[in-house]
Amino acid sequence: MRFSHMLIPTTKEVPNDATLPSHIYLIRGGFIQNVGGSGLYNFLPLGKRVLDTVRAIAKEELDAAGCQEVDLAFVTPASLWEESGRYEKYGKELLRLKDRKENAFVLGPTHEEMMVNLVRHTVRSYKQLPINLYQIKTKFRDEIRPRFGLMRGREFLMKDGYSFHKDAEDMKINGFDNMERAYRRIFDRLGLDYRIVEADSGAIGGSGSKEFMVLAESGEDTIVVCDHCSYGANIEAAKRAPKPAPVYADDEAPEMTRTDFHTPGVTTIDALAEFFHIDSHHLIKAVAKKALYDEGVEKIVLFFIRGNDALEETKACNAVDANELIDISEEALRAAGLTPGYMGFNALPEGVIFRMDQELRGENNLIMGANRAEYHTIGVQMPDVSEHYADLVAVQAGDVCSHCGGTLRHTKGIEVGHIFQLGTRYSEPMGATFLDENGKAKPYEMGTYGIGISRLLAAIIEQHHDDRGCIWTPNTAPFAVEIIISNVKKEAEREAGEALYAQLKAAGVEVLLDDRPERFGSKMSDYELIGIPLAVVIGKKLAEGQAEIIVREGLDRVDHPVDTLFDAVMKRL
């Protein structure tokens, strides 16, 4: 392609809502264009080329792994979402709309319901299983905070796949594990440095879900990794070995007789630790939240954790089976009969529910709010009521790995893929069954597998850029080579550039020829911004029979005789 004919609106202007390199360079390089609403983007010719490349790599590997591509309607009937129970549960990310006849629809944010509906009408027997169907299609989620360009859009391109099996074992082996391997091949080919981590499986629970995280400082996800073994998990699901108590000389470990203690003005963990001269490990912190359920039901929940721990909200939300947890004001707590600063789990007002962190189980000699103003209870012993215990806390840097005893630390990742063992979460409520070997109707065991295709463009650039622009990986670049004719007014330069262009094209190489009548300097800065892996500059040195080969990564330059330029370029590709 000729630069002079292509729509590549590069600009020096940094969009004012952009902070991440990927967002800045994809806009400045003319790959994408903001549509004026947040989280909505047009793909321009360069961006579309990369998007199609990423999509093609995903398709090749999925097809090779035995998946079949389909394409389902984007506007989906609300009735399907009612069948699965998600019409209400999904919250505001789900864009609900009505047509002229007042029929309700939703714009697909993911397609479990649609895919179950497709299969329940077409697959009847265990003999037709397993089956793995996917699509690469626009999704819409009315994200609360769309940002970072393609990273978190409202309209975005996702690969979503779904597998259907006769039993859980088949789903694990032929669905989940098979997809993990296919995803590895996809992300390897894209040239990404990523890590596969254990992920939150929501209400479904279990260790049935893994995320593919591209390691980058700018990632929105915190992941916990072990510095000794291969353990890695999203902080939402991370586990640790129970936190040990501070080390005391025998007679110094705190011991108390249970009693209520007057503690006026002592309303924070720090103040409490200072008041009693005790490590916050022995204090119980109450974190209050409002839990939201279907049909507008709301409950106040108190989560009790150690004074030196922090609540992990996703774990907390799962522990009370809520759709969402939101903050609650001190006024609302008082109105419910609670005493902020002095809350404990004894003598709770009617209607307030609570959970306790599992690591507190069996502990004693603790200090906690007495549920009345200005009093804390000392010498608290944890009650033995299993249904009230759950894993509630965020793993902290320095905690101990439960697998190997190594030290855990935090790092940042961009979630580019998610594979999930669903079980019968959708097939059962939607009555999607097949006949097994004995002629008995059974709900399908399902897996669901996503890849953020458009997010990947941002993730690749977050990992591969410098202070001048993008550095595309070999398999994702919009072109393999760019030829820059330094001065198109010079016939010899133009001819040499055109000749190499024709040769490379004939050899099937994707090549961009910068034949614009612009200054060399501005063509060079466009090259650096766009980030094609390899460039050939035909310029002044042509008089000595030389051209310059530039490698975008590191911007290394070497002179090379024009006669053998074609071979030299082919060798580097």
Per CB under 6 A, the segment of 223-231, 376-384, 451-459, 498-506 that binds ligand ATP is 451-459
- Contact status, residue 549 vs residue 33, Cβ threshold 8 Å: no
Q: With binding defined as CB under 6 A, does residue 143 bind ligand ATP?
A: yes
> How many Å apart are CA 139 and CA 447, to the nearest integer?
19
Q: With binding defined as CB under 6 A, does residue 416 bind ligand ATP?
A: yes
Helix (H), strand (E), coil (C) string for 382-407? CCCCHHHEECCECCCCCCECCCCCCE
> How many Å apart are CA 332 and CA 317, to the nearest integer?
20
- Interface pick for ligand ATP out of 112, 113, 399, 415 (rule CB under 6 A): 415
Look up residue 163 and give its two tokens. Answer: 């597998």
- Interface pick for ligand ATP out of 120, 152, 315, 516 (rule CB under 6 A): 152
- Least separation in angstroms between CB 110 and ligand ATP: 6
User: What DSSP element (H or E) covers 497?
Assistant: helix 491-506
- 453-463 vs 21-28: helix axis angle to the nearest 10? 100
Q: With binding defined as CB under 6 A, does residue 417 bind ligand ATP?
A: yes
- Interface pick for ligand ATP out of 44, 158, 283, 549 (rule CB under 6 A): 158
Q: With binding defined as CB under 6 A, does residue 418 bind ligand ATP?
A: yes
Q: With binding defined as CB under 6 A, does residue 447 bind ligand ATP?
A: no
Per CB under 6 A, the segment of 299-307, 447-455, 479-487, 519-527 that binds ligand ATP is 447-455
- Least separation in angstroms between CB 125 and ligand ATP: 31
> How many Å apart are CA 459 and CA 281, to the nearest integer?
39
Q: With binding defined as CB under 6 A, does residue 324 bind ligand ATP?
A: no
| Chain residues 101-140 in contact with ligand ATP, contact rule CB under 6 A | 110
Q: Which residue is nearest to ligand ATP (CB)?
A: 452
Per CB under 6 A, the segment of 6-14, 182-190, 409-417, 461-469 that binds ligand ATP is 409-417
Binding footprint of ligand ATP, residue count (CB under 6 A): 15
Look up residue 188 and give its two tokens. Answer: 């390897």
Report the C-alpha dihedral over residues 468, 474, 477, 479, rounded to 10 degrees.
110
| Chain residues 452-491 in contact with ligand ATP, contact rule CB under 6 A | 452, 454-455
Q: With binding defined as CB under 6 A, does residue 315 bind ligand ATP?
A: no
- Least separation in angstroms between CB 185 and ligand ATP: 17
- Contact status, residue 113 vs residue 78, Cβ threshold 8 Å: no
List the one residue out of 408, 413, 398 whose CA is nearest residue 210: 413
Look up residue 541 and give its two tokens. Answer: 């040195």
Q: 541 burial class (0-12, 13-18, 19+ CB within 10 angstroms)?
A: middle
> How many Å apart are CA 11 and CA 16, to the nearest integer?
13
Chain residues that interact with ligand ATP, rule: CB under 6 A: 110, 141, 143, 152-153, 156, 158, 415-418, 450, 452, 454-455
